[in-house]
Amino acid sequence: MTRPFKETIFTLTTGPVNCYPAVLQALGRPVLYDYDPGFLKTYARVAEKLMAAMQTAKPPVILQGEPVLGLEAAAASVVSPDDVVLNLASGVYGDGYRYWLEPRCRDYLEIRTPFNEAINPADVAAMLEQRPDITVVAVCHHDTPSGTINPVAEIGALVAATKAVLIVDAVSSFGGMEILPNAAKADIFVTGPNKCLGCPPGLSFVAISEKGWAKIKANPRAPKGSILSILDWEHAWRPDQPFPFTPSVAEINGLEAALDLYLAEGPQAVWERHARTAAACRAGIRAMGLMLWAASEDIASPTATAVALPAGIDETQLRRIMHDDYGVMISSGRGETLNKLVRIGHMGPTAQPIYALTAVAALGAALNKLTAGCCDIGAGAAAVMATIDAA
Ligand SMILES: *Cc1c(COP(=O)(O)O)cnc(C)c1O
């Protein structure tokens, strides 16, 4: 028997995620003219709050499109035809970055791992030693389609000792765990509001080090007068400077509400909330008899849990049952991980430990409809609650 839900009750995806109610309210505020003194003040305040959240010395550049724009803009701004680029590919996003890097550089190198493992910093050290001509290194911190975390701070320390700049995709980890541009020694650090900050997709943030700015400014191919331009927006936060084009007024209002929530709760507390939710979810998944996708639990992300699909299960069918029978929406794999795993997001407002219970129970019940009862939902639920109580 199915009782189809007309609407999704729980969006437990890996992004976009449901927004915080305060963000939704802020998105509905009057849309001021971009040179209205009120909006100029808002924009300057948002730049300051973003600087506080990202702990940078200068305001990060805000670009007017969801974080894929920031990632393409970073490649376009940094990489010149003289560059030797090392891309670290441990998942679909890291691997996919090649598409923007390779056509722009002289030499494209990569280190690959299976998509359920993380990059080994020793391999990066060896490659940097072997190829001292490397000028750009790129890495995805949390490769979301795998739910795995790369050791970016260790990689950052290695790259910082060379002439190369480091581009980091921290789109789905910033705001949900300890990852900050300076501490990670990232030169170009790309993130956005639509994952762990609990905003809709629509903006990118790019935090840039002195070394990163020098590299971009020395690149004659760095876009200007373009939607891809980072340079155009360098000074946009200064009230005495014009915007290169109209900023997304409503998105900026929403972002301010999200930053207020993040800074008021305190980054440590927010990160801990994400970590506790993921730990409860992983415990439930395992106790129910399922396997994590990540090769080892120490690289499993605190902002998303990737669950390996049991053999013979079709993810579309599985996720349809979760949605139609229980009103729960989770994420599929992507690219190489499609139909090998499903993903439960713990991002922003859904990084609350009790949501792990909903996700685990709905996943187990849906799997049991497709198999001869492979999941012990009771054991899964008990493990979720025991993990919550133990924290
Ligand atoms: C979400 C995400 C992006 C942005 O891509 P989407 O179009 O929002 O899916 C980029 N990198 C990573 C690692 C992400 O998780």
What separation in angstroms does the CA of 74 have from each of 59, 204, 206, 292? 16, 11, 8, 32
Residue 68: what pLDDT? 98
Going by pLDDT thresholds of 50, 70 and 90, the confidence category of residue 144 is very high
Radius of gyration (Cα) for the chain, nearest Å? Answer: 21
Start and end residues for every CATH 3.90.1150.10 domain found in the chain: 10-17+267-390
End-to-end alpha carbon distance in the chain: 38
Atom of ligand 1 nearest to the CA of 140: 13
Going by pLDDT thresholds of 50, 70 and 90, the confidence category of residue 325 is very high
How crowded is residue 44: how many other Cβ atoms within 10 Å of its Cβ? 15
* pLDDT 10s digits, 263-276: 999 999 999 999 99
Checking if the pLDDT of 104 tops 60, the result is: yes
Q: 10-17+267-390 — its CATH code?
A: 3.90.1150.10
Widest CA span of the chain, in angstroms?
Answer: 67
What separation in angstroms does the CA of 9 have from each of 125, 132, 203, 323, 347? 47, 53, 26, 9, 16
User: Cα–Cα distance between 154 and 166 in angstroms, integer?
Assistant: 12
Checking if the pLDDT of 391 tops 90, the result is: no
Q: How far is the CA of 108 from the centre of ligand 1 (A)?
A: 23
Say which CATH architecture domain 31-264 belongs to: 3-Layer(aba) Sandwich (3.40)
The pTM assigned to this predicted structure is: 0.97
Q: How far is the CA of 172 from the centre of ligand 1 (A)?
A: 7
Q: Is the dihedral of CA 172, 176, 177, 178 positive or negative?
A: positive
Task: Name residues contacting ligand 1 (CB within 6 A).
Answer: 15, 66-68, 71, 93, 140, 142, 144, 169, 171-172, 195, 201
Q: How far is the CA of 139 from the centre of ligand 1 (A)?
A: 13
Query: For the chain, what percent of residues have pLDDT higher than 70?
Result: 99
Helices 37-54, 249-265: inter-axial angle, 10-degree rounding: 40
Pocket-testing residue among 87, 172, 196, 204, ligand 1, by greatest number of atoms within 8 A of Cβ: 172
Q: How far is the CA of 375 from the centre of ligand 1 (A)?
A: 31
- Average pLDDT of the chain, as a whole number: 97
Query: CA 333, 334, 339: angle at the middle one, nearest 5?
Result: 45
Pocket-testing residue among 69, 95, 148, 171, ligand 1, by greatest number of atoms within 8 A of Cβ: 171
* pLDDT 10s digits, 39-86: 999 999 999 999 999 999 999 999 999 999 999 999 999 999 999 999
Question: Three-state SS across the chain?
Answer: CCCCCCCCCEECCCCCCCCCHHHHHHHCCCCCCCCCHHHHHHHHHHHHHHHHHHCCCCCCEEECCCHHHHHHHHHHHHCCCCCEEEEEECCHHHHHCHHHHHHHCCEEEEEECCCCCCCCHHHHHHHHHHCCCCCEEEEECEECCCCEECCHHHHHHHHHCCCCEEEEECCCCECCECCCCCCCCCCEEEECCCCCCCCCCCCEEEEECHHHHHHHHCCCCCCCCCCCCCHHHCCCCCCCCCCCCCCCHHHHHHHHHHHHHHHHHCHHHHHHHHHHHHHHHHHHHHHCCCCECCCCHHHECCCEEEEECCCCCCHHHHHHHHHHHHCEECEECCHHHCCCEEEEECCHHHCCHHHHHHHHHHHHHHHHHHCCCCCCHHHHHHHHHHHHHHC
Q: How far is the CA of 183 from the centre of ligand 1 (A)?
A: 22
* pLDDT 10s digits, 168-206: 999 999 999 999 999 999 999 999 999 999 999 999 999
Mean pLDDT of 210-233: 98
Start and end residues for every CATH 3.40.640.10 domain found in the chain: 31-264
Query: For the chain, what percent of residues have pLDDT higher than 90?
Result: 97
Mean pLDDT of 96-110: 98
Residue 1: what pLDDT? 53
Residue 2: what pLDDT? 57
Q: Quick one: tokens of 7?
A: 């609407």
Mean pLDDT of 108-117: 98
42 and 237 in contact (C-beta within 8 Å)?
A: no
CA atoms within 13 Å, Cβ hemisphere of 279? 14
Q: How far is the CA of 67 from the centre of ligand 1 (A)?
A: 6
